[in-house]
Copies of this chain bind each other. A is one copy, B any other.
Amino acid sequence: MSQRNDGMIHDAGTSATLPFAAAKGDDIMQAFSAVLGPAGMVADDAGRAPYETDWRGKYHGRSLAVLRPADTAQVAAVMRICAHHGIAIVPQGGNTGLCGGATPNTAGRQIILSLQRMRRLRSIDAEGASITCEAGMPLAEAQGHAEAAGLLLPISIASEGTATVGGAVATNAGGLNVLHYGSMRGMVLGVEAVLPDGSLWSDLGGLRKDNTGYAVSSLLTGSEGTLAVVTAACLALSPRPSGHTTFLAGLDDPGQALAMLSALRAGAAEAVTAWELFSTVSADILRSEPPHLTLPLARAHGWYLLGEVSHFGPPSDAQAATLERLANLCDDLGLDDIVQATSQAQRASLWALREGISTAERSLGPSLKHDVSVSPGRVAGLATALVSECADLVPGLRLNVFGHVGDGNLHINALPLERGVAMPDRVADAVTRHIYDRTHDAGGSFSAEHGVGQAKRAEMLRYKPPDHLRVLRAIKSALDPQGLMNPGKVLP
């Protein structure tokens, strides 16, 4: 890729930034068009609409243009045009984020830079166990390439059919298998990204170790498009499991989930790849709402644990040994209501429970969502306390608590008090404040995996020490001195 000036907008004599008002709108559009061609621009309002609203319909913006570059050189050319004219850029992948991070503001002066046309597989290296793909490739497609090479891209999020590699990198996506495989940042061996001045950061060598300078690829991962546009990533792959032991257990207390996890990990080689908790409210709405699922247990409990252990290699005694160990651990903890999947179909039906929780919640109307984390040793106490305290705070309030308990990360969603009706702002604010305050007091985070976007900027101001915000702003100014990258996101 040429990193040189494209010569169309910049020329030797004029390097100053023109204020937006002074730039001629038609000239700018012609410049974009000259770089991208007709296939790279969405001209009409109807075509732009799906890009200007997030998939849940919660955030609405209006863009100057939706640009769909075909390669990294086009991204760089677009960035240079934007830098010259002072136009802000909102990068967008699959548009499946939960915090409005990919939605422009309503002024109609920001461009949406969609990476969806850049979805090539650059390379897959079975011996080096890595895959390099462009930002717009859907995660599920990247998973498929890994599978074809006999390997696993171990990220598992609900939106993986639509969410893109670039979006998952930009938001440091988490999901179901973080416990064993880590979040996206841990899989990123390097990224290719275009900086706001059109220059390139490219670190796609597939190196497992490289101590030559700062961890820029790690820094760009999770920066939500506020520092640069990720155009490709090299991700580490893992061996594929040959089988799974999947079970569902009723619990009295979420602490039992943690105790069982500690004992299981300490005592065996098994890869514990998922450890998902959900509450009695989750079970209730699974039954009462679509998908109308009933738990295959003997009786109701306060909490439930869906656990999965991955096995590797040829069929062996490993699964039997795991089942025996699980049975012993359940005995030790006094857990007597547990089912194990004995077929792929049963495994799928257990996972359908976990995956159905969000669907069931949606059918009740607008809920109040939180995505918090604390050190795993503190998560059980936090969950128990919040369920009880929020019910005291707002009589009748039901908290749908579910998530990645092994990582210390729970989704704590307050269901609407009345079906289909959003909670009054005053009540919602009080509930959110209580949940975040308690999490913060326990040393935790108000956004474990969903990011900040535009949704949680106020929380950044409230919970981050001023010294931290200064550091974040200094980094932002260093890489994006004009403030053109996804303004109004992440930083308060």
Contact B218 A219 (CB under 8 A): yes
Answer whether residue A178 sits at the interface, using C-beta atoms and an 8 A cutoff: yes
Contact A213 B464 (CB under 8 A): yes
Binds B, one of A36-44, A106-114, A135-143, A438-446: A438-446
Within the complex, the shortest CB–CB distance from A321 to chain B, in Å, comes to 8
Hey, which chain B residues are within 8 Å of A213, CB to CB? 452, 460, 464, 468, 472, 490-491
Answer whether residue A185 sits at the interface, using C-beta atoms and an 8 A cutoff: yes
Complex partner residue of A208 from B202, B408, B447, B479, CB under 8 angstroms = B408
In whole angstroms, what is the CA distance A330 to B57 when docked?
Answer: 58
Among the interface residues A172, A208, A452, A456, which one has the most CB atoms of the partner chain B within 10 A? A208
Complex partner residue of A195 from B206, B445, B471, CB under 8 angstroms = B471
Answer whether residue A312 sits at the interface, using C-beta atoms and an 8 A cutoff: yes
Identify whether the interface residues of A are mostly helix, strand, loop, or mixed: loop
In whole angstroms, what is the CA distance A185 to B471 when docked?
Answer: 19
Contact A150/B374 with A209-B408, A445-B209, A460-B212 known, Cβ cut-off 8 Å: no
26 pairs of residues in contact across A and B, judged by CB atoms under 8 Å: A127-B258, A128-B378, A128-B408, A182-B186, A185-B215, A199-B470, A201-B471, A205-B374, A205-B443, A206-B375, A207-B444, A209-B404, A209-B407, A212-B447, A213-B452, A213-B490, A213-B491, A239-B266, A266-B312, A267-B313, A269-B271, A269-B312, A471-B479, A474-B478, A475-B478, A477-B478
**In residues 252-304 of chain A, which contact B (Cβ within 8 Å)?**
258, 262, 265-271
Answer whether residue A450 sits at the interface, using C-beta atoms and an 8 A cutoff: yes
Within the complex, the shortest CB–CB distance from A315 to chain B, in Å, comes to 12
Hey, which chain B residues are within 8 Å of A475, CB to CB? 214, 216, 219, 475, 478-479
Within the complex, the shortest CB–CB distance from A167 to chain B, in Å, comes to 13
In whole angstroms, what is the CA distance A374 to B206 when docked?
Answer: 8
**In residues 124-149 of chain A, which contact B (Cβ within 8 Å)?**
125-130
Encode A161-174 as 1/0 by CB contact (under 8 A) with B.
00000000001101
Hey, which chain B residues are within 8 Å of A451, CB to CB? 211
**In residues 208-255 of chain A, which contact B (Cβ within 8 Å)?**
208-216, 218-219, 221-223, 227, 239-240
Answer whether residue A396 sits at the interface, using C-beta atoms and an 8 A cutoff: no
In whole angstroms, what is the CA distance A444 to B211 when docked?
Answer: 11
Contact A449 B408 (CB under 8 A): no
Closest 10 CB pairs of A and B: A127-B377, A478-B478, A206-B375, A128-B377, A205-B443, A128-B375, A210-B445, A474-B478, A209-B448, A268-B313
